[in-house]
Homo-oligomer: A and B are copies of this chain.
């Protein structure tokens, strides 16, 4: 699997946790040099992990699953640049949040995305045969990167096909302390993407690194 934008805070945190869990991780970046530098840093933190640093297009070329973890400002441009590289059948896991910070607004507010959500924009822009699942909006990048911290929270997953969500859920389960929760169709990303600014607002008030857990589930 690969992480497009794997040098960013969330992407790098996921790379560390997945690498520690024994998942070979390709860290993608616009700048191949920065990707290589990040993979070196990752190996220092997780010596047993398998990390490779590549430019985004090379990173996704052979990926069965690619996590898209870029600022909303760059999401559209990144997907345009990857049109020729993403191959049919690749599962694209979108973690983008349309924070108003993209236009210098508040991080507790979002922008309206014409398609409904950043994930739906990704689905519209992705080449034929590339399906999008939405995930990883409520997990703190800082806590992911703090490998001494024991995670105990949920990852909310939205997508139109159960088999796609099952693949993402299996990946999530590799990370100790994270529980995948199927939240329904991809259009529900419109709501789940809003949880990031909600958590940011809670973090400000409580000086915390909050996450989310869904209560009352027997079968998640």
Does chain B have a CB within 8 A of A147?
no
User: Would you give the 0/1 interface string for A109-151, flagging 1 where the beta carbon is closer than 8 Å to chain B?
Assistant: 1000000000000000000000000000000100100000000
A46-62 with Cβ < 8 A to chain B: none
For A220, the chain B residues whose CB sits under 8 A away are 206
From A22-30, A88-96, A183-191, give the one contacting chain B. A183-191
Does chain B have a CB within 8 A of A201?
yes
Does chain B have a CB within 8 A of A167?
no
Q: How far is the CB of A98 from chain B (nearest CB, A)?
A: 12
Does chain B have a CB within 8 A of A212?
yes
Residue on B nearest A116 in the bound complex, by CB = B109
Residue on B nearest A106 in the bound complex, by CB = B187
Does chain B have a CB within 8 A of A153?
yes
For A152, the chain B residues whose CB sits under 8 A away are 215
Assembly CA distance A152 to B216 (angstroms): 9
For A213, the chain B residues whose CB sits under 8 A away are 212-215
B205 touches A182 (CB 8 A): yes
B212 touches A183 (CB 8 A): no
Assembly CA distance A61 to B83 (angstroms): 62
> Interface residues of A: mostly helix, strand, loop or mixed?
mixed
Q: Counting chain B CB atoms within 10 Å of each CB, which of A188, A214, A217, A220 scores highest? A: A214
Assembly CA distance A199 to B182 (angstroms): 11
Q: How far is the CB of A61 from chain B (nearest CB, A)?
A: 34
Please pick, from B184, B190, B201, the residue contacting A188 in the complex, using a CB distance under 8 A. Answer: B201
For A202, the chain B residues whose CB sits under 8 A away are 181-184, 214, 217
A188 touches B198 (CB 8 A): yes
Assembly CA distance A171 to B102 (angstroms): 38
Please pick, from B184, B188, B206, B216, the residue contacting A217 in the complex, using a CB distance under 8 A. Answer: B206
For A188, the chain B residues whose CB sits under 8 A away are 108, 198, 201
B201 touches A209 (CB 8 A): no
A206 touches B182 (CB 8 A): yes
A209 touches B198 (CB 8 A): no
Please pick, from B207, B211, B218, the residue contacting A215 in the complex, using a CB distance under 8 A. Answer: B211
